[in-house]
Structure formats: C-alpha cells, structure tokens
Structure 1
Amino acid sequence: MLLDIQSLSHKYQSGKNTKFAIKSLSLQVEPGILGLLGPNGAGKSSMMRIIATITKPSQGNIFWQGQDIIKSPQILRKELGYLPQYFGVYDQLSGIEFLQYIASLKGLDKAKTNHTIEALLHKLNLTHASNMPLKGYSGGMKQRIGIAQALLNDPKLLIIDEPTVGLDPHERASFRQLLSELAGERCIIFSTHIVADVESIADRIAIMHSGQLIQSESPSTLLHKVANKCWQLTANLSELKHIQHEFIVSHSVRKESKVELNIVADFCPDARAISRAPSLEDAYLYFTSNRQAQTGYARAS
C-alpha cells in the first residue's frame, strides 16, 4: 500500500453554518487504477485537492509510503502528477512551449525534460500538433496535453479529476485506454461521476456520497453485492411515473405502448418482473440512492 488516508475530514463555512465536504473518510490505495465515483457534490474534488497537497484537511492523516504528507507535503509533490477538473491552458502557447513552461515551474532538468516532452507528445499522439497553439486543440487534445504535463516528472501517484467532461465518446474511449497503459506500478486515482468511464479499467471502485466513503471494492465484488437486486420489468407507460417514484430505475427503453425497465430493488418489484444480470451502474445507483446511503457508512480498506 502506497497511500493511506486515515479519518480524513474537511469542513468549510457556508454563511453562519459549518458544512462537511468530507467526513471521517479512510481509504488505502495500492498500485493500479482506483475509480472514485460519486454524484456531483459528493466531495470527490475536495478529496483530490487534499491528496494533491493543495488543500489542508480539517482533520485526519495521509501517509505516502509511510510518511505524513500533511506535515511534509514536499515528500509527495516530487512524485505527484495532477490533472484538476478545470484545467486551464495558455491558448497562445504551442503544446511544446506549454510543456516546457510547466517543466520549468516544476524545477525539472531542462536537458532531460526536452527528451521527456518529445516522448510524451509521441505517446499521447500529439507530435503532429506540438507546434500548434493550444487554442486550436480539441477537447480531447487538451485533456491529453493535461495528462502530458502531469507525467513530466514520471509520477508514482497520478490524480485525475473528472477528465472526460466535454469529450465525445471516441475521445473518452481513447482516454480510458491511455490510463490503462499508464497504470502498472503507478497509483492512479480517477475521479468521475460517469460509471462507464471506470467500469472497464478500474482495479477497484470507491464510491462517495455526501462526503463519506460508502463502498470500496473490486468491480466484481460490487456486482456480487447487487446480484440478487436487479430486475427487468415490462410495464405500461401509464405505470412509469409510479415505478420511478418507488424504485431505482437504471435504464428504460420504450417499446410501442410499453416500457422495458431495469430496476434495482431489495425485493421483486412486481409479479411480472424477472431477475437479470447486474451492471456496475446498478451498483452505483443502489449505493448512492438516499435510501441506501443513509443506512450506514463503514471504513473501507
């Protein structure tokens, strides 16, 4: 285990009220890809900023290879790569100029950096655009240049926060493939609220809800936990509103005057329903629904 997060909490003032962005969160991270899932406002970005040593938590400890990075953040910064949710670029700079600028900010050796930049541009399929101003880059290209700047120091911990927002399906698929190639002995924390972005590449899934960690398991274990809670029901359109109010509906397809529904529920929702195989989205919706999320939170490791 490389990263050990212990009883992490972070609070902030909202007017006269104190609110928790993160509350008593504990998590251990090993090499591979950790998919951090949660709805908007779950606390994912707050946790990413704390792990990246940008924000100091209100309480708790974080150890990187056994060393306290809250007391000594520079220990991790040398081995950290970070792509924040809102990644700004200097539009007038070319791709290669931007990477050279970021490398200088990180204090990297210039001679070695030029070789590293050339290799990264090739790996990320950006060589053809290396001298093009960043304002001409597509959304996918900007995300790839963002990954390139995060990899300049060959980090052992790579933190990526909501990287696929605004990307088309092809760009998202390419991005997932890239992360798989970057894993190996590296720790990658990939934060998103889009289940499809992590279901095929994550070694482990951590699910957050309202600032708390509610699940941390392998994808197969999460599927097993909801295996007997997934149902398919073909109902009349007139029943749809009532069913959506009573149950978690993960997917629906209209077929003439009927609608075929995928439902997640602790019990068979209707005599017409049949059991079906679970998906990771079923598990995500089940555990983040208010009914389930309020039943209790356990320490994950």
Structure 2
Amino acid sequence: MIKINDIQWKYKKFSLTIEELTIQHGINILVGHNGSGKSTLLSLLATAKRPSQGEISYHGDTMNSNLLAVRSKIGYVPTGLELYQDFTPVKLLLYLSQLKGLPKKLSIHQTEELLSIFHLRDVQKTKIKRLSQGMQQRLALAQAFLGKPTYIFLDEPLNYLDIHERKSLLNFLSKIAPHTIILVATHELNEWEAICNSVIWMNEGTLQYEGTKTMWKHELPLTIWTGEMEDSLYENFSKKHLIVYAGRIKDKLVVRCANSLKPAPGFKAVAPTMEDAFFIRKHSQQRS
C-alpha cells in the first residue's frame, strides 16, 4: 500500500496539503475540478515532484530512503506527455525498457506484448510524429507498463481514445488491478464505475473524501429523482430544485434532479451514478 503522511507542496499561490491518506491495491479514481490538485498529487506520487514536507511510503520504501527502488516500480502517464517524435513505437518502448534496466530478452518480450495489448503492431515501425493523437496516447499508456510496475499513476488516460480503445484499456486495468495500485485522475466518473474500488476527491489542494465507491454514491444528503413534465413547467421547477440533467426522449421532457423529498407527482427515486454523487457533494460543499 501507499501511505501519505502530512505532505505539503506549494507553488506560487497554490498549495496542496494532505495529512493522511492510504491507497490500496485496485483501481482508485481521483476526482475534482481543474485546479483541485489532482495532477499535482499524481506527480508527487510518481516522484516527479518532491513534497516540501511530509513523507510518502511505498510498502515501506520512501523517496529519501530508497528512491531508485521506488521509481523502478512506478508507471506514470501525465497529461501532455511528449514522446520522441522521430522514434517508432517499437524503438521507443525498447529504449525506455533499457532505461528501466530490463534485460534484453525481457525488454523485447514486453515490448511485443504491449504493442499487442495497445493495438499498435500495425504501426510499430511508423514514426511517432505520423501517428494520430489516439495512437500516441495508447503508446504513452503502453510505456507506463514496462517492467510490470507495482504503482500506476494515470492522468486522464481516456483522452483521445475511441470507445473501443477505452473499453480495451478498462479491461486491461481490471485484470492487473488485484496485484497493482492504480490511481487514475479523471473527469469521466461513470466510465470507471464498474471497475473502480475507491474514490479520492480533491478540492483546492485538500482531501475532501476517501472511501469505497459504494460509500461515495450512497452516503449523500440528497436523493436523485427522475420524472417527466411539460416544457411550460420546467422554468419554475428548475428554480426550486437542483437539476442534475434535463433532456428530451422523443417528445417528452425528462428531468433528473436532487432533492431531499419527492419533488413532484410522478417522480421516482433512482440510484445515483458516480457523477450524480460528485454533483451533489460539490453542491453541498458550496452551500456549507
């Protein structure tokens, strides 16, 4: 497990402070608005940044006690990762595997394996600068798994991936999750709902929530309701209730809202999604 103890990091007017946090094996999603500290936390965990105070422990090892051992077990994909544009995918993976210290045979084997997993075999000898953004994103993801790391940190990994590649990545992560600590910063909570184990919520550089996805969805101050109404009634209704979603199915206006009591006749209580829970929690925090 990863244990965070009293860490702090500051840059200009932004500061990140976490007194205590434990991250277990499995898929943990990191949520929060832009500027909340998600990317900063990932870079601290990936040892790309050092906290100004406090300590991060990786199964007992720390940056101060055994930095090389810690880094050898980390796979990291920040947003906007720049790849060597004149390399090919196969050359890049072989090069990075050498930097990680993998033996030659293992390096070749893992490179071939990752090219297949991320569907890059057809372009393995094409220069990276000629690849689409989606292909470059898949290559950025592939390099993170060289050496079969214990700790995987991914910042918005679904960016530029089509629906098939998204499903492929989620399936791959779910297979390795029992033996890997995976932390994913994402704005797309619902896509991770089926496979994630826990949720970590950051806001303005501080930890707001850490717990299971079940607790995240059900320990809420408001209930999610859904129902249909006439267009003419919506404006007045929206002024009285917290609207989560309003859309049209054929000729009917369908409204999804959050309220402590049934908002109107015909509305039914429904189970909240991951994004519903974030919407309610954020709204409740702003009002407090």
Q: TM-score w.r.t. structure 1 length?
A: 0.85
Counterparts of 2:230 and 2:184, CA distance in 1 = 40
Question: Within 5 Å, which residues of 2 pair with 1:184-263?
Answer: 184-226=178-220, 229-238=223-232, 240=234, 244=238, 247-254=241-248, 259-263=253-257
Alignment pair present for 1:277 and 2:277? no
Q: 1:65 to 1:225 in 2, by over 3 A?
A: same
Kindly provide the amino acid, as one letter, of the partner of residue 184 in structure 2. Answer: F
Q: Which amino acid aligns with 1:8?
A: I
Aligned equivalents of 2:236, 2:89: Cα separation in 1: 53
1:36 alignment partner, SS class? strand
Q: Which amino acid aligns with 1:286?
A: I
Q: Give unmatched runs, 5+ long, in structure 1.
A: 296-301
**1:137 Cα shift?**
2.8
> How far apart, in 2, do the equivalents of 1:8 and 1:294 lie?
28
Matches of 2:174 and 2:151, distance apart in 1: 14
Secondary structure of residue in 2 paired with 1:118: helix
What is the CA–CA distance in structure 2 between the aligned matches of 1:7 and 1:136, rounded to whole Å? 45
Give yes or no for the alignment of 1:116 onto 2:110.
yes
One-letter identity of the residue aligned with 1:117: T
Kindly indicate which of the two structures has a greater share of residues assigned to helix: 2
1:37-116 matches, within 5 Å, as 37-69=31-63, 72-116=66-110
The alpha carbon displacement at 1:226 in A equals 3.3
Give distance in 2, aligned partners of 1:236 and 1:23.
Answer: 48
SS in 2 for 1:278: coil
Distance, in Å, in 2 between the alignment partners of 1:240 and 1:48 is: 42
Q: TM-score, normalised by structure 2?
A: 0.88
Equivalent position SS for 2:174: helix
1:20-57 alpha-carbon deviations (Å, 9 max, x no partner):
2x233532111111111112211100000000011112
Are 2:171 and 1:173 equivalent residues in the alignment?
Answer: no
Per mean C-alpha deviation after superposition, the further-off stretch among 276-285 and 48-57 is 276-285
Deviation (angstroms), 1:70: 5.1
SS of 1:92 mapped into structure 2: coil
Change (3 A) 1:256 1:81: closer
| Partner in structure 2 of residue 30 of structure 1 | 24
> Is the aligned partner of 1:292 residue 2:277?
no
Which SS does the other structure have where 2:178 is aligned?
Answer: coil
Identity %: 28
| Deviations 1:231-271, CA, capped at 9 Å, x for gaps | 12434435545655654422221357763211123344446
Tell me whether 1:133 sits opposite 2:99 in the alignment: no
**Do the aligned partners of residues 210 and 145 (structure 1) sit closer, same or farther apart at CA in structure 2, a change above 3 Å counting?**
same
Q: What runs of 5+ residues in structure 2 fail to find an aligned partner?
A: none
Distance in structure 2 (CA, Å) of the matches to 1:99 and 1:208: 33
SS of the residue aligned with 2:139? helix
Q: CA RMSD in A?
A: 2.5
**1:141-156 pair list within 5 angstroms:** 141-156=135-150
